[in-house]
Amino acid sequence: MTRPVSSLNVLVTGAGGGMCVGINARLAAAGHTVLCADLNLAAAEAAAERITAAGGRALPFELNVSSDESVAALHAAVSEQVGPIQALVNAAGILDRKYLQDHDTASFQFALDINLTGPFRLIREFGPELVEQGWGRIINISSIAGVTGYHYPSYAASKAGLSNLTRSLLVDFWGTGVTVNSICPGVVDTAMVIQEVRDQVKKKVPTEQIVTPEEIGALAAFLLTDDARSINGADLLIDGGATQVFSLFDR
């Protein structure tokens, strides 16, 4: 199955965030229309403006991934303004820096609701139109924390769940032309990362470099090509080798 159109409509959640600076830019540079959705509408608008200022195509949308109603409203708005999407990048996420005993049930569930149930809501909502077109790409931005574990349990559990959701959806999208993959970044050069961690990364990662948002964007852009058609159900580690050589745990 080959890509139905050369310029795709790509919905990116969390598009106003740090990593999406690179994701949005690389997707737009590949000729795609980037639908920038974020809880923070001003950030989504700024992201879309950055793309259009650079000569690309983008539109901003407000979205709360933890609300069924908001996801349905986004779908209605996107359908009306743009038409069907061909690709979905689930990048909205939060990192709650709490150890087990600092969490109450509500705060733990809040993290899961955004990082895990959020992508589920988006895939359930937009998956059918990908299937109808006989081609589609779903990319979940997970984390190496979901592979190795991490001292912030709500984050690690939500990302492990997201990676396993990715694998599990192979059945739902079997034979449809839609692939589902997770990108698992290591530490990426964004505001989510504190200086102490950046310093550690430079000492401990084999590449001696922090991953850039543009590298994540380049991988996402590749996954939207026909050359990536056999990459399906994968956890794509992009971490400079960190997963192999150091622990994310701080004790």
Ligand X SMILES: NC(=O)c1ccc[n+]([C@@H]2O[C@H](COP(=O)([O-])OP(=O)(O)OC[C@H]3O[C@@H](n4cnc5c(N)ncnc54)[C@H](O)[C@@H]3O)[C@@H](O)[C@H]2O)c1
Residues taking part in catalysis: 155
Candidates 1, 18, 177, 232; binder of ligand X (CB under 6 A) is: 18
Q: Smallest distance, Å, CB 231 to ligand X?
A: 19
Candidates 14, 60, 127, 153; binder of ligand X (CB under 6 A) is: 14
Candidates 8, 51, 114, 218; binder of ligand X (CB under 6 A) is: 114
Residue 144 per-residue DSSP state: T
Candidates 46, 73, 193, 238; binder of ligand X (CB under 6 A) is: 193
- Does residue 232 bind ligand X (CB under 6 A)? no
Q: Smallest distance, Å, CB 43 to ligand X?
A: 5
- Cβ–Cβ < 8 Å for 111, 204: no
CA 224 to chain centre: 13
Residue 171 CB-density burial (10 A; 0-12 exposed, 13-18 middle, 19+ buried): exposed
Using CA atoms, how far apart are residues 8 and 11, in angstroms rounded to an integer?
A: 9
Using CA atoms, how far apart are residues 226 and 243, in angstroms rounded to an integer?
A: 28
Residue 6 per-residue DSSP state: S
- Does residue 92 bind ligand X (CB under 6 A)? yes
Which residues of the chain form contacts with ligand X (CB under 6 A)?
A: 13-14, 16-20, 38-40, 43, 63-66, 91-95, 114, 141, 143, 185, 187-188, 190-193
